[in-house]
Amino acid sequence: MIRSPIVLFFCRRPMPKRGVPRPIQPLPVRFFETDPVTCARRLLGAQLVWDGCRGRIVETEAYDVIGDPACHTFFREKARRFVEAHSAGTAYVYLNYGVHWMANVLVKGRRTGFILIRALEPTQGLKAMQQRRNQERHEALCSGPGKLTQALGMTGTFHGQPFLINKRRCLAEGTAPAVITADVRIGISRGCELPWRFLDLASRHISVKPRQK
């Protein structure tokens, strides 16, 4: 298999004031009215806020409803109906192999698809996360899509709910990383060659380091 090259994106990053926690400001719906690849890249650095816990998003994956064999809409009629019935910014949460909940957000704009939130850097509610995960190491709490939902206590009950309204459970503004790395997606058997996984390599909380060519 020919692997796509690793791509780097350089971003401007405003410096937050030290010691001042960033207020929770949910992302506007227009943030998700673009295309999955662009949105997945821009979502890095945003916050996932959940019932007193918080984390900075450091890894995402994009899935497109058109021409992407790894997207649920490619083989699930239920997923296609979900896309038709819901607006941009809606949570798409499903149980993977009957074990782990996967948190996604719907994107509807120039193109339509989903963004899988793959990893978080915990910033608030560490004790609760450690208890749920039975894990002390901060770097291991949310370094994977199933780990982060377990750490936050997120389940399928949030499926179909908006990520943009309730400040206790939302995707909120954050600080973009200085450098974003694009690599191939992982944990799938189709569409593996697409470089639609985006990472903040400066974080120690990503799930898997980029693969080499």
Distance from C-alpha of 67 to C-alpha of 105, rounded to nearest angstrom: 19
Statement: residue 95 has pLDDT above 60: yes
Report if residue 212 sits inside a domain.
no
- Residue, of 48 and 189, whose pLDDT is higher: 48
| 105 neighbors 172 (Cβ within 8 angstroms) | no
In a domain, residue 92? The reply is yes
Which amino acid belongs to residue 59? E
Does 170 reside within a domain? Answer: yes
Q: Please state the rounded mean pLDDT for residues 7-35.
A: 71
User: Is there a domain that residue 100 lies in?
Assistant: yes
Torsion of Cα atoms, 110 then 116 then 119 then 124, to 10°:
80
- Give the CA angle between residues 63, 104, 2 to the nearest 5°: 30
Residue 42 lies in a domain: yes
Residue 111 is assigned to a structural domain of this protein: yes
What single-letter DSSP state applies at residue 100?
E
Higher pLDDT, residue 9 or 135 = 135
The CATH number of the domain holding residue 153 is 3.10.300.10
Total domains, the chain: 1
Evaluate if pTM is beyond 0.85.
yes
Whether 30 maps to a domain, the answer reads yes
Average pLDDT over residues 48-72: 97
Expressed as residue numbers, the domain containing 151 is: 26-178
